[in-house]
Structure 1
Amino acid sequence: MRRTVLNAMFLTVIGLLGAFPVLGAEVAGRPNIVFLMSDDQCCYSLGCYGNADVETPKIDQLAADGLVFDNHYDTTAICMASRANVMTGMLEYKTGCNFEHGPLTQEKWEKSYPMLLRAAGYQTAFAGKFGFEVVDSPTSKDRRLPEGDFDRWGGGPGQTFYETRKNKSMVEYADEYPHSTLSYGAFGRDFVRDAAAEDRPFCLSISFKAPHKPATPDPKFNAIYEGQVFQKPDNYGREHGLHFSEQSRRGRQYERFHSWNYSDRYDEVMAVYHQQVYAIDVAVGMIREAIEQAGVRDNTVIIFTSDNGFLCGSHGYGSKVLPYEESSRVPLIIYDPRHRNSGRQLRTDALTGNIDFAPTMCALAGIECPAEMDGRNLMAVYDNPQATIHESLPLINVWGPAAVHSLAVVTRDWKYIFWPHAADGMSPTEELYNTAEDPLELTNLAKDSQSRSQLQEMRALYDEEVRRWRENAVDYNDYEKYGVIFDRAVSWSEKATLLKNSRRRE
């Protein structure tokens, strides 16, 4: 059902864009790679994902030219951990990297896709919010950004700034592009122009700060959604989250439905959000135009995604982190101009995750993928949109209040969530959703007698993920204990003792 509805909406959008020819077979040689990632962008912020209220013509064109992924998840839906997932192709408990846990070690960074591609002869560039720091060892206090590991650098620490002039590495663009979103488009444009003149391929990675809070849109685009009324999703509002766990209400995501004004100023808040996405769309257009002008269109693969989604009032929640669809499922578009499937307006509901980007980069560059990577090559789905590269993926949250910590497992059609916390009057809670038939997650089937067999299957997949956690988690940054906390067979009293002892060690 989800794919049928999205296909219908997508065809309506691309009908306005004109017809696109089917390109010929793949060509030999290593392609250039452009990886574009937004920050906190949900799927329904794009026309190609079915929102008729927004204007995203450049990204919609990219979707029409390439392949749209309808079942793409960030395995950890928060900035720092997600970016480490993307760079290394590993799940969070193997990177050891997230807020409240720790940075990425040099050992793991050396096997990231920027390092591997540069070692293989690629020109590399990064601009925007890098999202994490690197240390020599887990106990090291010397945290740093790896700017020297790129041929061109426009990145920054922490959340970076929307005001271009405040981003040290981007100051040269501040006069012409005072807002950072378009400055990153200009950085990408200039790098493509210069790199295309060399005799070796390039890999450009742009990480937009937008549309991350605090909402700071480029005033250049103030008129784009002025006075517009936006249709709310059918799961908008607190009445559509009553079936969610009590644990999910203990984090800031719950109160932000009100404090971030989704409850009383929805149109105003969403106009600003979509205005920020519109600026990203313009920046994507700048980079695609530069690729065309540099004469490398036919050999440049473009990937567009987001580091995590955003709840935007769905179910009466704001922000991200939680394992629900609007927070964890994000846009993914890939365009490979060399491929026979390009220009055919295809979509796929194959299950994919942010851990798949690094293996895909390696495959495109023709280099061996490190064995530690958990991801798979997304180009197998580009070859065959009906293909399966994952039977299931975990959705992890070990950030924020302990009550909100959860582990979920998602398949192409189903999602199972386990909330282990049992203090403060709560009990361990299960949620089960048929995301194929119920993409808005309006009905929890965990206690539905007709879904008993599916619940057992999803529990088995979940238990297998817990086993992998126990076997593969790093022995630092407080990750080992979650192999017990997320275990359904361990009593809460045992887990509470573990948590108490863990706090004493800290």
Structure 2
Amino acid sequence: MWTAFPVLSAENSATSRPNILFIMADDCTYSEIGCFGGQNAKTPNIDKLADEGLIFNRAYVSMAMCVPARHELYTGLYPMESGCAWNHGRSKPGTKSIFHYLTDLGYRVGISGKKHASPKEVFPYINVPGFEENCVLANEEKEDITGIKRFMEEKNDEPFCLFVCSTSPHAPWTLGDASAYPPAELKLPAHLGDTPEVREAYSRYLAEVTYFDRQVGEVLKTLEETGNANNTVVMLSTEQGWQFSGGKWTNWDLGVHTGLIAKWPGKIKPGSETGALVQFADITPTFVDVAGGEEVPAVSGKSFLDVLLGKNEKHRKYVYCMHNNVPEGKPYPIRAVISSEYHYISNLLPDSIYFEKHLEAGAHGEVWWERWKEKANTSTREKYLVERFYHRPAEEFYAVETDKEQFDNLAGNPIFERELEKHQNALDAWMKTQNDPGVPVDTESEYEKRYWEN
């Protein structure tokens, strides 16, 4: 149940409370960013932000899909609790979000750019013009910072919370300067098949990552120009992973791991890093904590303010993830739990072949997946990657530090039996708290029922 927050006293008025600026990419694999080890993309603005703030090396989304991830971010709830456990889903009527919590604390709370947040009663945001909302436009116009600047400057007696949500590098990959990334010179990540078509598509993807980085620079420059930089908590997220196979729409690290950076002048130590486990559900209660509000009742997440301030090196014991493939493809429910040492995945229909409609249809005219599959007929490496994508075992268990590519499945290895069981139990317990029956949730009928109910 949601409870209104008390009115703040004069000494806790707007001037003493920080503004909040959250900048988010769209389908940006965290490991492409320079400060997270990226070897290709030029991301000077994001890397500078990391140098001035705190890098979260272990931050996650519960679902590697745009809509559920954003609902988790704004509500502080896991997908089954908000009601948005499918892509293009909606949160349950009566659900409260960051837009309620911070408004009650005297903040102006807005979004510029991609929304994917409905119904309006759950997300009563101020619409701030400037960034494109449609993530699948091929010829997107350059952002206009005027609206963001106005939002930052108006009503100086009230602090602001602004979510700037880019549509880059969501497919189609048409923005930025792909000529800066000659395909033959790229260092292909281990998860990508090596064909001319893959390299060409990857070049365009990297160009959009750099396009997003430029946008980050423009927004941060505006924050400086409006005189708000020293009293603003800035947080940046890369959202979920790319639309290449094995990223978005999976529970693999490449999909659910988000690149998270925070800067707070005078509060966060510049150039610092943390291995604390956090996830999107923790961000809303953290922002309420930053704003001086009381603990938010009845949310899944919990504040990691102590991690931001360097008072604690740990936050969670486990991070929880899930995937419902409907309506993006045939049923293929996945659940996962991640600890500081291991990443456990339970594929609930392991005898099924994974199918995702955008990939198989060659959305936006892409042919790289077809060429990749053709090469798999003659190449062991490409065949392994294709088979890994389509045919998955009932259980996957990976060592986080020593197997970042997640190619060495430890499930079935007796040496890791005890640790595997711990993670199985943790996942089972979490699913029970979520009233998540698993397989029955990932069906067309259930999706339709939940969607229209919400």
Q: 2:437 aligns with which of 479, 484, 489?
A: 484
Residue 88 of structure 1: how far off its partner (Å): 0.3
- 1:67 alignment partner AA: L
Q: 2:160 aligns with which of 195, 202, 207?
A: 202
Q: Distance in 2 between matches of 1:41 and 1:362?
A: 26
1:406 match: 334
Distance 1:119 1:151, change over 3 A: farther
CA deviations 1:333-374 (Å, max 9, x no partner) are 0001121x422x111111110111111110111112432211
Q: 2:17 aligns with which of 14, 30, 39?
A: 30
- Contact 1:33-1:204 at 8 Å conserved across structures: yes
Q: 2:100 aligns with which of 92, 109, 115?
A: 115
Alignment of 1:354-373 (within 5 A): 354-373=280-299
CA deviations 1:318-337 (Å, max 9, x no partner) are 55111111111011000011
- Contact 1:123-1:151 at 8 Å conserved across structures: no
Residue 157 of structure 1: how far off its partner (Å): 6.4
Matched, 1:299 2:231: yes
Matched, 1:191 2:120: no
1:389 match: 315
SS of match in other structure, 1:395: strand
- Contact 1:130-1:155 at 8 Å conserved across structures: no
Matched, 1:337 2:265: yes
- Contact 2:62-2:256 at 8 Å conserved across structures: yes
Q: Distance in 1 between matches of 2:93 and 2:445?
A: 29
- % same residue: 23
- Contact 2:398-2:408 at 8 Å conserved across structures: yes
Q: Distance in 1 between matches of 2:200 and 2:449?
A: 47
Matched, 1:461 2:426: yes
SS of match in other structure, 2:237: strand
SS of match in other structure, 1:124: strand
- Contact 1:47-1:56 at 8 Å conserved across structures: yes
Distance 1:162 1:150, change over 3 A: farther
1:243 match: none
Matched, 1:78 2:65: yes
SS of match in other structure, 1:69: strand
Alignment of 1:35-114 (within 5 A): 35-99=22-86, 102-108=89-95, 111-114=96-99
1:132 match: 117
Q: 2:126 aligns with which of 144, 147, 150?
A: 150
SS of match in other structure, 1:104: coil
CA deviations 1:247-275 (Å, max 9, x no partner) are xxxxxxxxxxxxxxx74423321221111
Residue 424 of structure 1: how far off its partner (Å): 5.5
SS of match in other structure, 1:330: strand
1:253 match: none
- Contact 1:77-1:309 at 8 Å conserved across structures: yes
- 1:77 alignment partner AA: A
Q: Give the stretch that moved more between structures: 99-108 or 281-290.
A: 99-108
- 1:38 alignment partner AA: A
Q: Distance in 2 between matches of 1:382 and 1:223?
A: 38
Distance 1:385 1:49, change over 3 A: farther
- 1:436 alignment partner AA: E
- 1:61 alignment partner AA: K
- 2:51 alignment partner AA: A
Q: Distance in 2 between matches of 1:359 and 1:461?
A: 23
> Any gaps of 5 or more consecutive residues in structure 2?
1-13, 354-390
Q: Distance in 2 between matches of 1:94 and 1:309?
A: 23
Matched, 1:418 2:346: yes
Distance 1:337 1:469, change over 3 A: same
- Contact 2:20-2:162 at 8 Å conserved across structures: yes
Q: Distance in 1 between matches of 2:42 and 2:28?
A: 14
Residue 159 of structure 1: how far off its partner (Å): 3.9
- 1:435 alignment partner AA: V
Task: With the length of structure 1 as denominator, give the TM-score of the two structures.
Answer: 0.71
Q: Distance in 2 between matches of 1:427 and 1:436?
A: 22
Residue 379 of structure 1: how far off its partner (Å): 2.1
CA deviations 1:157-208 (Å, max 9, x no partner) are 66464645xxxxxxxxxxxxx33xx33x55434432x23x612211111111
Residue 307 of structure 1: how far off its partner (Å): 2.6
Q: Distance in 2 between matches of 1:427 and 1:278?
A: 33
2:373 match: none
- Contact 1:126-1:152 at 8 Å conserved across structures: yes
- 1:89 alignment partner AA: G
- 1:213 alignment partner AA: A
- Contact 2:33-2:43 at 8 Å conserved across structures: yes
- Contact 1:129-1:158 at 8 Å conserved across structures: yes
SS of match in other structure, 1:115: helix
1:433 match: 398
Q: Distance in 1 between matches of 2:266 and 2:320?
A: 32
Q: 2:202 aligns with which of 264, 270, 287?
A: 270
2:256 match: 328
- 2:40 alignment partner AA: D
Q: 2:414 aligns with which of 449, 457, 467?
A: 449
- 2:181 alignment partner AA: Y
Alignment of 1:218-257 (within 5 A): 218=176, 221-226=177-182, 229-237=185-193
- 2:345 alignment partner AA: I
Residue 80 of structure 1: how far off its partner (Å): 0.6
2:170 match: 212
Distance 1:308 1:152, change over 3 A: same
Q: Distance in 2 between matches of 1:120 and 1:231?
A: 48
Q: Distance in 2 between matches of 1:47 and 1:504?
A: 41
> Any gaps of 5 or more consecutive residues in structure 1?
1-26, 137-144, 165-177, 238-261, 471-482, 487-494
